[in-house]
Chain A
Amino acid sequence: MLKFRTFRGGIHPPDSKITAGKPIEKAKIPANVIILLHQHVGAPCKPLVKEGEKVKAGQKIGDSDSFVSAPVHSSISGVVKEISTQQSPIGREVQGIVIESDVRAESARMEAIDPATASKREILTRIREAGIVGLGGAAFPTSVKLSPPEGKEIDTVILNGSECEPYITADHRLMLEQPDKIVKGVGIIMNVLDVDKGFIGIEDNKKDAIKRMREAVEREGDEGIEVFSLKTKYPQGEAGSLIKTVLNRETPSGSHSYDIGVLVQNVATAKAIHDAVYEGAPLIERVVTVTGDVKEPKNLLTRIGTPFYDLIEECGGFKSDVGKIVCGGSMLGVAEFGNVPTIKSTGCILVLDREKSKTPEERACVRCGMCVDVCPTGLMPTILEKLARARRFEECMDYHILDCMECGSCAYVCPSKIPIVQLIRYGKEEIKRRE
């Protein structure tokens, strides 16, 4: 197998992984959590509790009848204070349940399941009941992803441990500290799908994680799982790039990775699956990297629904004049208006000072072609940007605008500081709106 196979284009931003050496710390139980009823792709949940009701940590408090959805659980023990409209960290207004902590540690767990004897249906039901969604950022309900449509045969599972975004180290720490749980999680995924080939892809800037994961795979003794060292390059962690690198397959334009027999899951999702099956634990906590311009950047094991400012406070507060608070990494993250709660897919809170938050002055395009060179999809971003600006959307389609995955590599390299991704997003939105 070619070891240094890679995907087209890509960029090498400074990795800024200042928290890579910091072990995961348990965050304080917050005074209040806000559990959003819509944290995932698919139908929002309906609340199962009323204001004033007592809830335990791990108690299911929201669910939906739709197939594409995932229930939500209270992440602390306490009392439901209110159910109201809340701001979500990915820029939507959704219903949320505010729970006030009663400082008791009452928790509700499900019974552990032995995956060796349990049926696939049982395991899939458990994954759904535990509220597990893709923790890499997409937040697609995992039980749905593990039930591919009739006729789609999955032959390979790829576990995504590339963590190619600058700053974020949550998955890196998880792989170092709990490699066995991750490997057991992959085992469950492979069993459910009847697949005997699994890869764990990790970028080679995390040599220690590659080593730990290889040791864990050996301990587990599953010969079908291979730890795959990936060349460090953004956006290696994007599913298309990852599949291309590991298997040299391409997801056809407009289709899904299961059309080419591949399922990609994040390492944190695999760990959550392990916890749900072996320990009966619902998804109520996750590792969040709180980093950037905070006094003491940390990797925190947090309860889902913790307000961002609580976590920033726990890291010593802002280091200097704060400019931006970003949910997610520096390439793909969403800048926040104010204090929002974390959701299941929040892996990083990035604080940038005022200087770093400045929007650079936009200049004329000099046609340097750097955006074309770095585009992992093989698009011509400069042309898309110009066409979208001129509202020539038909022509945008000729240039495959809908294949853009908005990784931001083009805008990153642009010497004229043109907001290319923003303009392409605008073009995509307009095209979708007109359909």
Chain B
Amino acid sequence: MPELIVSPSPHIRSDVSIEKIMYSVIIALIPTTACGIYFFGVHVLYVIITCILSALFTEYVALRLMGRKFVMDGSAVITGLLLALCLPPGLPLWMAAIGAAFAIAFAKCAFGGLGHNIFNPALIGRAFLTASWPVAMTTWTKPLTYDAITTATPLGLWKMQNIATPYINLALGNVSGCIGETSALAILIGGVFLIAKRYIDWRTPVSYIGTVAVLAFALGQDPLFHILAGSLFLGAFFMATDYVTTPITRNGRIIFGVGAGVIVVVIRLIGGYPEGVCFSILLMNAFTPLIDRHVRPRVYGVKRKRFFVSSANEGD
């Protein structure tokens, strides 16, 4: 009689794995990465490679120090790549390396590694660099010139000089800005790919971008300019959809998107910075545990249809 394996049901599993999702995200970022290299030159490629290697190395060292096994699941590659995509194209490589190392060590591994961090590591890396080297982090290169002619970003031009950049430039990407925020179209291609694969929820980008558009319009701004300019698309499709740091319920994701959208508009119109995507997502990351605690799906056969559930008196 053969030796049989006994295990509880279910006996089949879907073929979706952490690796598959992570590498799909990397594939989805290829158009954006390619646009960045095309518009700003080969230095961008070095920045990207530096960030990824630094992220991987830091994760390896950190996990060894924690006495845990390093697993090549692609998550550190994504953190490195996403950080590179929200850096200025001409940033010195050593700064990029420090940013990625900080992102992995303090924003990810210090919280317990994959799945346990509260804030998006790439955005923490960016925030850290902005605080440490504010000049280098706001020195923008003119696209397609391949040398360091500094210029202002579309949002900077709008905020400081009230100059609007044509939509077509914003969509295709020959505007100055971070490596990954040039072409809205390239980001959209990757984002739609992930939505079609059902790896990310459309509710996050739609509610996020939608809120920015509606609020900008209501406040007398050009909504199309506000959604195409800056890093809103990159943030909405690739950072606000990060599993670990955003809500696990569909309604929670809508709240997250709306909240982040409001913060972006508030920062852009009232705050001191021309751009607010990075901080909007980080701030909403902080609200994620609260959202998850109170926004729950309605349980089958439980009549009370309250959107917000207070866990204290919910036992009956």
State whether the Cβ of B20 lies closer than 8 Å to any Cβ in chain A: yes
Return the chain A residue nearest B1 by Cβ. A338
- Mask for A128-162, Cβ within 8 A of B = 1, else 0? 00000000000000000000000000000000000
Return the chain B residue nearest A318 by Cβ. B2
Q: Is the CB of A379 within 8 A of B243?
A: no
Q: How far is the CB of B118 from chain A (nearest CB, A)?
A: 11
- Mask for B8-47, Cβ within 8 A of A = 1, else 0? 1111111011101100000000000000000000000000
Q: How far is the CB of B107 from chain A (nearest CB, A)?
A: 15
- Mask for A78-99, Cβ within 8 A of B = 1, else 0? 0000000000000000000000
Of the candidate stretches A173-181, A205-213, A414-422, the one touching chain B is A414-422
Query: Given A325-B4, A378-B300, are A417 and B248 also a contact pair (CB < 8 Å)?
Result: no
- Mask for A373-404, Cβ within 8 A of B = 1, else 0? 10111111011000000000001011110010
Q: How far is the CB of B11 from chain A (nearest CB, A)?
A: 5
Query: Given A322-B2, A323-B4, A372-B248, are A366 and B9 also a contact pair (CB < 8 Å)?
Result: no
Find B113's partner among A354, A359, A364, A415 (CB 8 Å cutoff).
A364
Q: How far is the CB of B156 from chain A (nearest CB, A)?
A: 35
Return the chain B residue nearest A358 by Cβ. B5
Bound complex: CA of A254 vs CA of B11, how far in Å?
A: 28
Query: Given A335-B7, A368-B21, A369-B248, are A412 and B301 also a contact pair (CB < 8 Å)?
Result: no
Find B13's partner among A366, A378, A398, A411 (CB 8 Å cutoff).
A411
Which B residues lie within 8 Å of A372 (CB)? Answer: 248-250, 297
The CB with the most chain B CB atoms within 10 A, among A250, A336, A366, is that of A366
Q: Is the CB of A380 within 8 A of B296?
A: yes
Secondary structure at the A interface, as helix, strand, loop or mixed, is loop
Q: Is the CB of A382 within 8 A of B13?
A: no
State whether the Cβ of B224 lies closer than 8 Å to any Cβ in chain A: no
Q: Is the CB of A331 within 8 A of B10?
A: yes
Q: How far is the CB of A252 from chain B (nearest CB, A)?
A: 5
Query: Given A253-B301, A372-B297, A412-B10, are A324 and B5 also a contact pair (CB < 8 Å)?
Result: yes
Which B residues lie within 8 Å of A54 (CB)? Answer: none
Question: In the complex, how many residue pairs between chain A and chain B have their CB atoms under 8 Å apart?
Answer: 169
Query: Given A252-B301, A335-B5, are A413 and B244 also a contact pair (CB < 8 Å)?
Result: no
Q: Is the CB of A413 within 8 A of B16?
A: yes
Q: Is the CB of B8 within 8 A of A419?
A: yes
Which B residues lie within 8 Å of A251 (CB)? Answer: 300-301
Query: Given A331-B10, A380-B248, A380-B249, are A367 and B301 also a contact pair (CB < 8 Å)?
Result: no
State whether the Cβ of A365 lies closer than 8 Å to any Cβ in chain B: yes
Q: How far is the CB of A311 from chain B (nearest CB, A)?
A: 15
Bound complex: CA of A403 vs CA of B302, how far in Å?
A: 10
- Mask for B287-313, Cβ within 8 A of A = 1, else 0? 000001000111111110000000100
Q: Is the CB of B5 within 8 A of A412?
A: no
Q: How far is the CB of B295 from chain A (nearest CB, A)?
A: 10
Find B10's partner among A244, A332, A395, A398 (CB 8 Å cutoff).
A332
Binding site for A on B (CB under 8 A): 1-2, 4-14, 16-18, 20-21, 71, 73, 113-116, 201, 243-244, 246-250, 253, 292, 296-303, 311, 314-315
